[in-house]
Structure 1
Amino acid sequence: MPTGVAIRDVRRQLFDAAERVLLRDGPSALTSRAVTTEAGCAKGVLHRHFADFDAFLADLVRDRVAGIGAQAAALRDAAGTGTVAGRLTTALTDLFGTVAVAIVGLVTSRDELRARLRADRPAGVPVLAEATAMIAGYLAAERDRGRIAADADVDTLAPTLIGAGHLLFADRTSAPPDAAAVQKIVATVIAGALREP
């Protein structure tokens, strides 16, 4: 690889390359060499910007978790509009239709990475924990608007939706589920709590 060539936004380039490797080849194929080859840069570039490969992976996960924060704010802001089932279907599809499932696989397959991430969140699986909080926050906002029953247990509904959504999307070798399959899961889980006309 040539040296001395400036690379714009190295972190973003490396994170995007890691995502492509994860989506195409899975967590076991994710190595520093695979990432830098995919990014089209020398291996030393990664090590100039990160203490080691697990530090890189931890920052990759944190970056994706931050994206869930933005998605959560948009979902809460949409409370009261559209249908609850429609919003949840879109949220789960947007979440799991991306690299989130592969990130969960990465976190669960690497002990050192999990240990580093425990400093940020002592309990729960990164990405899934934030996604659960996102769904619970949205359901609470809809409960405040009367579209979800006042006695609905959003802290149980949210992980149920996340777990069911994760299972639908978890097989990375098959085509992703269609919207109807996701909608069916959502409608079933929230049926007893829904108060929309």
Structure 2
Amino acid sequence: MPTGVHLRDARQQLFEAAERVLLRAGPNGLTSRAVTDEAGCAKGVLHRHFSDFDAFLADLVLDRAARLDRQADALRESAGTGTVADNLTSALVTLFGPIPVAVIPLITFRDELRARLRKARPGGGIAILAEATSAVSAYLTDERELGRIAADADIDSLTLSLVGGGHLLFADRDPGPPTEAAVGRLVTAVVQGAVRP
């Protein structure tokens, strides 16, 4: 006898259930049973849409990484407006939201997931961090072309400092994510020598 409820968009509902489990129980608590229990469906539903649990996780990560494209576009559109530090601060707060930060350790600790992601995204890098890096680098390049960042600024080093420092700030979410002011202090310290008045 079937259990659970009918899922209209099973993939997205399973992804959303996985997010809830991941936020509540962390990477170790994310199992196929936990996901299907959270979604209120039979375990076979997951395997009807994905060849195995690692395939499900790979699709989840790629789907969530693709969502960062909209945030990257918004960051690039902000070039030339406001201040560079404020734009980057807002972007880091968004790019390192709860789901992206929860996905990074999932990728780090699952060898098979990393292998599948490398096949899906040649060139390496950890999905989520790769998107954040690309977004920040493109934005800084745009600002340099607009003359708001020094022409001789090392965009790669600035990007790595911002993304790496931002990830470290957000990685330890106990007792909660950093304040926007704390993120702003990091951003200001990193870009102050490169920003043109």
Give me the TM-score of the superposition, normalised by structure 1: 0.95
CA RMSD of aligned residues (A): 1.5
Alignment of 1:31-110 (within 5 A): 31-110=31-110
Alignment of 1:39-188 (within 5 A): 39-119=39-119, 120-188=121-189
By how many angstroms is 1:127 displaced? 1.0
One-letter identity of the residue aligned with 1:58: A
Query: Secondary structure, in 3 states, of the residue corresponding to 1:59?
Result: helix
Give me the TM-score of the superposition, normalised by structure 2: 0.95
Cα shift readout 1:167-189 (whole Å, capped 9, x = no counterpart): 10101332111011000000000
By how many angstroms is 1:2 displaced? 4.3
Cα shift readout 1:18-68 (whole Å, capped 9, x = no counterpart): 111111111011000011111111111110000000000000010011011
Unaligned stretches of 5+ residues in structure 2: none
Between the two proteins, the alignment pairs up a number of residues equal to 196
Could you tell me how far apart the structure 1 residues matched to 2:73 and 2:98 are? 18
8 A contact 2:4–2:40 mirrored in 1: no
| Identical counterparts, % of pairs | 65
Moved over 6 A (4+): none
Could you tell me how far apart the structure 2 residues matched to 1:139 and 1:131 are? 12
Query: Secondary structure, in 3 states, of the residue corresponding to 1:99?
Result: helix
Could you tell me how far apart the structure 1 residues matched to 2:4 and 2:95 are? 38
Cα shift readout 1:121-149 (whole Å, capped 9, x = no counterpart): 33221111121011000000111111111
